[in-house]
């Protein structure tokens, strides 16, 4: 069918595009805004991909060109989010491609499916495993009290976790990707961040006459702050480069209408969509008897 031939032609385009939508393996890193936390804002550029085209993040001179870039972007993104059932990502991109003034407001996202995707991603599990490994090494020297909850943050762990989600068929891969930042049209820069918080405790018990020490890491949560943006961003290659370049330019192209964006309000065709997600993570328990073999025998006496 003609539709199938069209899909075969567009899917490679969309696939390439996701490498950019993630603006990610380098596109945003740190505390944020909205929902209570302070936002990391500066007027200095964040670490990012270097500019890959002279026209990247520069305004279109003709409104017809801007409208076409917006339509092309909506078509490719809409196709991808429809095929892989990513409604949350689609909502964020809808906000991104809705003309208006620059905003520093961060949208909180969630939902059972989205939270499960973040929680169960291999990259998330690897990050948790690395934190637990680091914690095992730390408690071997700090000797925390048994039977008491201790903070990961106070142990110097989890405040900045370099997670980059790579599966572009999932919400984390499509909207977050890796770490960098966004440079807004008003001159401010806002960094991305991933942080894992939680508690840990040591439990000593006797099993079959032998002392066993267990490290319990619980009440874990992952907080992600990121944004949909293409300034800065990896333009990738192939057919999607034109789409990505166009989207980056929309972030710098002024938009005027007779309602919301009159001469007094400075609006743009595309506005980076900042978001935040808080993800409850699974508890982790590991046997650390060997590490505490000598202490376990005398602890609590």
Instruction: Give average pLDDT by consecutive 10-residue segment, the chain, 301 residues.
Output: 34 46 35 32 42 91 96 95 97 96 96 98 98 94 91 96 94 92 93 97 89 95 96 76 93 89 84 98 95 56 44
Q: What SS3 state is found at 150?
A: strand
> Rg of the chain over CA atoms, in angstroms?
23
Q: What is the largest CA-CA distance in the chain?
A: 81
Name every residue whose Cβ is closer than 8 Å to that of residue 229 and which is 6 or more positions away in sequence.
23, 27, 28, 96, 182, 251, 272, 273
A 10 A CB-CB count for 245 gives 22
Instruction: Please report the pLDDT score of residue 50 as a whole number.
Output: 67
Instruction: Please report the pLDDT score of residue 6 as a whole number.
Output: 32
Q: What is the pTM of this model?
A: 0.81
Instruction: Please report the pLDDT score of residue 24 as a whole number.
Output: 38
CA angle 158, 164, 166 (to 5 degrees): 145
Tokens read off for 164: 């980059």
Tokens read off for 105: 């407001």
Cα–Cα dist 235/230, whole Å: 8
Instruction: Please report the pLDDT score of residue 190 as a whole number.
Output: 94
């Amino acid at each position: 069918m003609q539709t199938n031939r069209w899909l075969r032609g567009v899917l490679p385009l969309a696939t390439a595009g996701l490498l950019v939508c993630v603006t990610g393996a380098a596109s945003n890193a740190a505390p944020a805004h909205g929902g209570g936390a302070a936002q990391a804002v500066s007027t200095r550029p964040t670490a990012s991909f270097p500019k890959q085209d002279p026209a990247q993040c520069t305004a279109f001179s003709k409104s017809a060109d801007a409208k076409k870039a917006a339509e092309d972007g909506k078509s490719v993104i809409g196709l991808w989010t429809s095929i892989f059932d990513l409604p949350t990502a689609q909502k964020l991109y809808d906000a991104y491609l809705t003309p208006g003034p620059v905003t520093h407001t961060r949208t909180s996202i969630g939902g059972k499916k989205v939270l499960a995707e973040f929680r169960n991603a291999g990259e998330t599990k690897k990050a948790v495993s690395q934190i637990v490994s680091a914690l095992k090494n730390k408690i071997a020297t700090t000797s925390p009290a048994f039977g008491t909850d201790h903070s990961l943050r106070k142990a110097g762990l989890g405040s900045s976790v370099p997670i980059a989600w790579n599966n572009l068929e999932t919400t984390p891969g499509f909207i977050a990707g890796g770490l960098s930042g966004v440079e807004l049209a008003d001159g401010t820069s806002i960094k991305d961040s991933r942080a894992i918080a939680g508690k840990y405790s040591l439990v000593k018990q006797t099993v079959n006459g032998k002392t066993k020490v267990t490290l319990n890491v619980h009440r874990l949560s992952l907080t992600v702050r990121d944004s949909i943006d293409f300034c800065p961003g990896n333009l990738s290659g192939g057919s999607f480069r034109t789409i990505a370049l166009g989207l980056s330019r929309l972030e710098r192209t002024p938009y005027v209408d007779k309602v919301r964006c009159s001469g007094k309000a400075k609006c743009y065709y595309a506005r980076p969509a900042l978001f935040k997600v808080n993800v409850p993570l699974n508890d982790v328990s590991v046997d650390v008897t060997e590490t505490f073999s000598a202490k376990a025998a005398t602890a609590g006496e």
